[in-house]
Amino acid sequence: MHELPVTQSLLKIALDHAEKANAKQITALNIVMGELSSMVDDSIQFYW
């Protein structure tokens, strides 16, 4: 269940960086999660 707040934080970080770069849209976001991160990648994709 902690994947939702993590996904929300990733979105906020991406939007902040896009705003600073005067970007009109974000076309891709690559996320690398280590095996020991305890994140469930399917859940991250679902919430995204």
Question: What are the tens digits of pLDDT across the range 1-42?
Answer: 688 988 999 999 999 999 999 999 999 999 888 887 888 888
User: What is residue 41's predicted lDDT score, i.e. its pLDDT?
Assistant: 80
**Distant-in-sequence, close-in-space partners of 39: CB < 8 Å, separation ≥ 6:** 3, 6, 33
Work out the pLDDT band at 44, boundaries 50, 70, 90: confident
Nearest alpha-carbon partner for 44 in 36, 34, 33:
33
User: What is residue 8's predicted lDDT score, i.e. its pLDDT?
Assistant: 94
User: What is residue 34's predicted lDDT score, i.e. its pLDDT?
Assistant: 83
Give residue for tokens 């994140």.
39
pTM confidence score = 0.75
Nearest alpha-carbon partner for 41 in 32, 21, 16, 22:
32
